[in-house]
Amino acid sequence: MRLVRFTSGNITSFGVLEGEQIRQLAGDPYSEIKESGESFALADVKLLAPVEPKKIVLVGLNFASHAAEIHQETPSEPLIFFKPTSAIVASGEAIVLPHQSKQVEIEAELTVVIGKRANNIAQENVGDYILGYTVANDVTARDIQFADLQWARSKAFDSFCPVGPWIETDFVPDNKRISSTINGETKQDASTSEMVYSPEFLISYISQNFTLEPGDIVLTGSPAGISRVVAGDVVQCSIEGIGTLHSFVK
């Protein structure tokens, strides 16, 4: 099932996307997926970022290939950090280059959408707490990241977390292709099987350190191939079985 968040006129809703039609939900999908009976043509609505999280949680260096390309060691435990929710933009919207950076780079990432409150959960029970999966781009001001010696500012600029285009509830994260392109040229191309820590392990691990709330998202790490973008570029981040997140750079 593909869950979308959309706006039409004065209405902002969640819905189920099937073909070119969206069946509106009565409320959000976290408590109950219940349809309202109304439907909309996809062509007549604007798709929004499919999530409104309280927290954006990210995992650093979760592909050994990416750790190597930025000359970092693979961590002995998951490396956790955050982005502000103000960084979120939808598929089809702009990544805005900040004047503070001369080296903004893309990072395509498989993203977990939390479905219900998760605290101290066992790895074998993680599936009960996941609503679905989506695609995100952990846009990073790489020069600021290394100049600051920590990651907060470099990851936090407005528009530095494109997410979408939808949530796929039936996705299984094993051995799926994750890739990105800039102006049609492939930059990243890997498999989720190359992750150091699986999504299931990560959600369990994170929940044992702090509570995840419904709607929170967890970006599970970027493969090698991070690449600089400049104004005018068109970026696509794709995950097999979910879809493609589109962005343009300005």
Query: In CATH terms, is domain 2-47 a member of 2.30.30.370?
Result: yes
Residues of the chain with CATH 2.30.30.370: 2-47
The CATH number given to 56-249 is 3.90.850.10
Beta bridge partners of 234: 248
Q: Quote the pLDDT of residue 135.
A: 98
pLDDT of residue 22: 98
Q: Where are the beta strands (DSSP E) in the chain?
A: 2-8, 11-18, 21-25, 35-41, 46-47, 56-60, 79-83, 88-90, 94-95, 104-106, 108-114, 130-137, 140-141, 161-168, 177-182, 185-191, 217-219, 227-228, 234-239, 243-249
User: How much is the pLDDT for 188?
Assistant: 97
- Distance between CA 207 and CA 240 in Å, rounded? 27
Which part of the chain has CATH 3.90.850.10? Answer: 56-249
pLDDT in tens, the chain (250 residues): 999 999 999 999 999 999 999 999 999 999 889 999 999 999 999 999 999 999 999 999 999 888 888 888 888 999 999 999 999 999 999 999 999 999 999 999 999 999 999 999 999 999 999 999 999 999 999 999 999 988 999 999 999 999 999 999 999 999 999 999 999 999 999 999 999 999 999 999 999 999 999 999 999 999 999 999 999 999 999 999 999 999 999 9
How high is the pLDDT of residue 148?
96
Identify the pLDDT of residue 75: 87
Euclidean distance between CA atoms 250 and 137, whole angstroms: 16
Q: Kindly report the pTM of this predicted structure.
A: 0.96
Q: What is the pLDDT of residue 166?
A: 98
